Amino acid sequence: MPFVKEPFSVPAPIKAFVYVMRTLGYTQGEAQRHISKGRILIHGESMRYPGRIIDGEIEMVFFRPKSRGVKPLFSNKDFMVFEKSSGILVHPKTMATSYCMLDEIRSEAGDDANATHRIDMETSGLLLASKHKKAEAYLKTSFENKQIQKSYLAWVDGKLTEPFSVSVPILANKEGFDVTKQKVFVDEEKGRASHTDFIPLEYDDQLDTTLVACYPLTGRTHQIRIHLFHVKHPILGDPIYGATYEATSDYLDSLQTQENRLVEHGAPRLLLHAQTLRFHYGSEFYIQSKIDFRLLKKLIYPKEKRRFNRN
């Protein structure tokens, strides 16, 4: 378990963030974030108010990484690149998260190391992580300024033969999530601009699936997934885009059987893989995944048995 509790005794009444700053050597911002995440426990309950007066016996929760032996694909003094497996979170979702890529990142490079971008839990492939705060700031800014190019591979439902692009506004589904189960959707009026280029690489007639190279020019949440669903070629194994409401609900509620996952979504995992990274950091870097994603075609359920929804 990467999160551990440690006891502390507060000798006199003091504001919580001041105590954390003095005790742990944090800045005010770091102390406030530590508290707002619920990492001070009073009588066993999380306290999230930085300005609250505390005294007496408390506990604080700390992230203590525990490696499973995953080593970076590439590493230098400033950053690392890992191959993330499908089904693994990048950061802990809650304090009950038993393992995530941050365990490997901080086991490798210490408490100042961090992931510099997001990858969906079910997406596999390249994850860029910084080794120190200066590198983290530079790389995150590079992502924000679209100075880091990423490419992905995906096995999609149906036949595609010609390169194409999707450029549609995407809106985060902050309200009504229970109605559609989609995190984002296309909205021409309120959505934010998004663009992805796609190049079909090969088609398997028996499985009715196409391997597609994906080149996102923007970095919206679920962008590649919603773009392919929008053109009626959803990614096989996608539990949200291209599935019925009932199937997605079962998946999100952890009620779905393995058989139902195959029938309703077409594969036991989302068949999307972060394949390459290209960026500048002192010099030019081009890093490519060593995983042969083509081989994951063997995971695809026969087309006559799967019940995937393109609409």
Supply the residues annotated as catalytic: 120
SS3 at position 257: coil
* Token code pair at residue 188: 């021409």
> Do residues 126 and 274 touch, judged by C-beta distance below 8 A?
yes
Instruction: Find how far residue 300's CA is from the centre of its chain.
Output: 22
Distance, CA of 173 to CA of 244 (rounded, Å) = 17
What is the β-pairing status of strands 124-130 and 272-281? parallel
- CA torsion through residues 218, 221, 225, 230, sign: negative
Distance, CA of 291 to CA of 286 (rounded, Å) = 16
> Do residues 86 and 269 touch, judged by C-beta distance below 8 A?
yes
Report DSSP letters for 41-64, one per residue. EETTEEE--TT-EEEEEEEEEEE-
